[in-house]
Amino acid sequence: MTRGFLLKKIKDIKTFVAFDLETTGLTDTDKIIEFGAARVEENEIKETFQTLINPDTFIPLDILLLTGINEEEIKKAPHIDDVKEKILNFIGPHPLIAHNAPFDISFLKREVSDSLENPLFDTLKLSRILLPFIMNHKLGTLYTFFEKEESNLHRALDDAISTAKVFLGLLKLIDKLPLLTLEKILSIVEKTKNDSLILFKSAFNNALSGRGESDLAYLSHSFNIPSNVYESNAKNKVTSFPPTEESVEQILSKEVTINIAVTKYEKRAEQIALAKKIMKAFLSNEILISEAGTGTGKTFAYLIPSMLWSNFSRERIIISTYTKNLEEQLFHKDIINISKGLNIKFKAVLIKGRNNYICLKKWETIFSENFISLNKNEKESLLNLIIWEGLTKTGDISENSSFWLHNNLSLWSKLSCDAMDCEMNKCSYYQECYLTKVRKECQEADIVVINHSLLFSDLIREQKILGEYSKLIIDEAHNLERAATDFLGTTVTSYQIKNLLDRLYKTARGLLVKIRNVLTFLGKKNKSITMDEVAKSIDSVEESREIWDEISQSINEEVEKSEYIGKLRLKEEDSLIQEIESLRERFYSNLKNVNNFLKKFIKIFDDVEKTKIWKETVEEVKQVYRESEEIAENFYNILSCKDKNGCFWAESSDESKSTKLISAPIVVADILREKLFDNLETAILVSATILVENSFDYFKGKIGLSEIENVREFATGSYFDFKNQVLAILPSFISEPKKNEFFLDVVDVLRKVTLTIRRGTLILFTSYKLLNRVYEQLVETLHQNNILLLAQGRSGSKNVITKEFKEIKNSVLLGTYSFWEGFDVPGEALEVLVITKLPFSSPKEPIIEARTEHIESRGLNPFEKLHVPEAVIKLRQGFGRLIRTKEDRGIILILDTRLIKRNYGKRFLNSLPANIVISYSEGDFLERIRKFWKD
């Protein structure tokens, strides 16, 4: 089959025009500044067209820097009215191709011609359908995938040419799709009626003629399709003698062995010392807490002893991480590489919470029911799952780059594995079930990689997910209390409640209608349940819907008045709780009445001989009953606020007005000790930021290790030479944060620093309010001096502004708490770090307020026991953003003079890896900064 076979079959796109625009921004009021297009005939680019356009308006600096367009060129360029006719003539009647077509076509219709009716194909949408395993669906990534070379991006004509070539590559993929895959795609596309229908219909006709592939295997060779099981093929099966501290040291000292695992391995004394301590903990059944600073190589330090120990003892070792990035790196990179270096027989499994996996029964049901439960947007998103579902080895949705989970929570809830809906071994898909398979593999593994959320889900379910284990490694351990707080509590959302009530009954549909139909069919044979009972249950559901709306509205109104934006602490004595008490009781009573009815139905009909449809109805009743019971109890417990170790609060957003009710344990130490640590022989807890004033006591206290005897402590020290790599400086002439002058002082210092040294600068804030005020004061000055200013919440998503910050030299980035941790930019892109204020948590954050009250109730000072140590750890995390390698150099500016003017400041100073230089005048301050770079 020729490359152009599909194009020849589709007369309408025998010729097409790929185009791209550069604009002043993303809103309806922005303007086109460049148009580029490429006309393709018979698979070849025959003609191109490009023009700059003078928008007669301000062009943001980031646009100029990214595109390379300069203001002088724009001033000399024609206006849009002067080039409209040329653009339309070039486009002609031909189909249009664009990447993120809705964006580009909206500008063309607004500025060039609102009567454009050309067929429109979007390479972004098509690539998400066809390429679910590619890293991302940016134009440059797609161009490299098809053309095997880098593209020249950010200019309209270059992007138009790239779009044309990407479209040709996508057509080739469509042309080969197997019949069954095309049938599924067409069953959705025909309902959404988008222009891509013609492409898939033609391919379908080809497949009927036998021209397509028989299955999706041909696509699997184009991707790196991940597995969640890794088995080494080493012949050296089991170590017959126990590993020792010395054997671990020998391995880490043999650069030849480790170079198999990583290129350019560098022997590190800190890493070897940590690995030996971990090996000793395995040998002696100890709990080890270790702080291992950035650059230590902590993952190798615990993976090598773990793999050696597991290989010898045949014991499973569980490794838990907090972030997805580390979880993926451990399993897909580090474990595989080290296994090759050690040359031992080895098996590792990556397992996640059940909601991450697709349920095959739900998947087939969606199609067999002709998408009756999906809206238009959900049907379009479903397209991005079809090829992924046909190729995935794991069923784990996180590997599908085409499917944005946070934008598709409703759809994914209809497709994912769910404890409430799961029929376990009664399910007809049990043998193929991804969750079942990975849980079986988990029991046979040497190392199991999980995240903290699954660790606590397993605790709640008494090890029913992971099975029994006695060896546990917790990486990113500084987040253990936070994870326990999040996952040992309960949550009830508007979506959960509305979904449950709709599932029970909604306008002549739902489970209660099914039950009524069953009883009607049985007629006189049914003597146990009356139609009146069904009617009462329907009335209870209808009334519950109204009650929830009333409760939700009352809560949302109070959240809007809250001192802490978006959150409201709930207490038993609060007037709000008193006001909604009767509503709470009625809602709970209604749900319990419905549940009692469902329970009665199950009891009567569960053992009756049934047809398939009858059996499925009974199973659905069981599932809904379990879900309803859980929601009812969680709802009641949260809005009763009676648990003495519980913190309760409500959340709502201005946009959605949806309500979320949350409970969390105030103190997790006792829970962790009793449920987790008391059941382990060995536990390794590692992090780069645990110590407060060189002591582990605060960390041990909050996670329940203070009273356990076999706990050992070890700090590796810093791998970096902070004395020579960092200048940490505090300008003492700045006003304190509570004074009115503080804001102006901060702006003045930041303006002078950024203009003086012109290097990549990250400025960390503790609130959006201060960030936005600083941004507004700096943006014009920096723009005039050709320095790009990026701000969280204003310049795009975190990923977008991080990418721009890395790409555009000497940029300045303003960020809040999500940038204090996990922001990794080594090298010249980041050479200056500014900390505007000490990172104290808001005292009105519900869980912080509850913990403050708990400490006060014990006669202790919460500022000393909670607020300062938490801020110390956060400051140390922020400090760690600057130096990521031994080659990095940089300046850290701390603009909060409380560090030297308050007694508690000593606790911060004693915890930092670098000595702080105090500068007493602006002249001295700026001179020290200049001198650091000269030296």
Task: Give tens-digit pLDDT for 77-100.
Answer: 999 999 999 999 999 999 999 999
CA distances from residue 269 to 304, 462, 683, 717 in whole angstroms, order as listed:
15, 40, 23, 10
Q: Per-residue pLDDT for 9 more than 60?
A: no
pLDDT bin (cut points 50, 70, 90) of residue 620 is confident
Q: Is 468 helix (H, G, I), strand (E, B) or coil?
A: coil
- 274 within 8 A of 716, measured Cβ to Cβ: yes
Mean pLDDT of the 704-732 span: 93
DSSP H helical ranges for 4-137: 5-9, 61-67, 71-76, 80-91, 101-111, 123-130
In order, the DSSP letters of 139-188 are HHHHHHHHHSS----SSHHHHHHHHHHHHHHHHHHHHH--HHHHHHHHHH
CA distances from residue 612 to 618, 770, 918 in whole angstroms, order as listed:
10, 62, 78
Q: Is 97 helix (H, G, I), strand (E, B) or coil?
A: strand
d(CA 266, CA 193): 58
d(CA 426, CA 432): 13
d(CA 100, CA 478): 40
d(CA 477, CA 89): 63
- 883 within 8 A of 696, measured Cβ to Cβ: no
Q: Per-residue pLDDT for 425 more than 80?
A: no
Please give the angle made by the CA atoms of 220, 226 and 228, to the nearest 5 degrees: 140
Higher model confidence: residue 543 or residue 261? 543
Residues 785-841 have pLDDT tens digits of 999 999 999 888 888 899 889 989 999 999 998 899 888 888 899 999 999 999 999
d(CA 685, CA 201): 56
pLDDT of residue 388: 96
pLDDT of residue 213: 72
Higher model confidence: residue 712 or residue 527? 712
d(CA 528, CA 547): 30
Closest CA to 831 of 889, 751, 747, 750: 889
Q: Per-residue pLDDT for 1 more than 60?
A: no
- Running DSSP on this structure, what letter comes out for residue 94? S
Helix (H) or strand (E) holding 687: strand 682-687
- Running DSSP on this structure, what letter comes out for residue 220? H
CA distances from residue 871 to 579, 602, 762 in whole angstroms, order as listed:
37, 53, 19
Across the strands, what pairs with 763? 814, 834
Mean pLDDT of the 646-666 span: 90
Active site residue 154: yes
pLDDT of residue 656: 66
Higher model confidence: residue 276 or residue 370? 276
- 688 within 8 A of 264, measured Cβ to Cβ: no
Percent of the chain with pLDDT over 70: 95
Residues 567-578 have pLDDT tens digits of 999 999 999 999
Helix (H) or strand (E) holding 17: strand 15-23
pLDDT bin (cut points 50, 70, 90) of residue 238 is low
Which member of 94, 99, 154, 867 is catalytic? 154
pLDDT of residue 565: 82
DSSP H helical ranges for 262-375: 269-284, 298-313, 324-329, 335-342, 360-368
Q: How many CB atoms lie within 10 A of CB 82?
A: 12
Mean pLDDT of the 753-764 span: 95
Distance of CA 82 to the CA centre of its chain: 46
Residues 287-321 have pLDDT tens digits of 999 999 888 999 999 999 999 999 999 999 999 99
Please give the angle made by the CA atoms of 101, 103 and 108, to the nearest 5 degrees: 90
Q: Is 891 helix (H, G, I), strand (E, B) or coil?
A: strand
| Alpha carbons within 13 A on the beta-carbon side of 242 | 9
d(CA 637, CA 905): 41
Domains present along the chain, CATH in parentheses: 5-176 (3.30.420.10), 231-347+446-488+668-719 (3.40.50.300), 352-444 (no CATH), 529-665 (1.10.275), 722-934 (3.40.50.300)
* Mean per-residue pLDDT of the chain: 91
- 571 within 8 A of 578, measured Cβ to Cβ: no
Mean pLDDT of the 258-279 span: 81
Q: How many CB atoms lie within 10 A of CB 920?
A: 10
Residue that the structure tokens 């000269």 belong to: 934
Percent of the chain with pLDDT over 90: 69
DSSP H helical ranges for 461-493: 480-487
d(CA 470, CA 677): 9
pLDDT of residue 921: 96
d(CA 125, CA 197): 12
Q: Per-residue pLDDT for 330 more than 90?
A: yes
* Of 86-90, 654-658, 905-909, minimum mean pLDDT range: 654-658
- Running DSSP on this structure, what letter comes out for residue 491? E
Q: Is 3 helix (H, G, I), strand (E, B) or coil?
A: coil
pLDDT bin (cut points 50, 70, 90) of residue 153 is low
User: Could you report how far apart the first and last alpha carbons of the chain are, in Å?
Assistant: 64
pLDDT of residue 259: 55
d(CA 665, CA 249): 42
d(CA 34, CA 777): 30
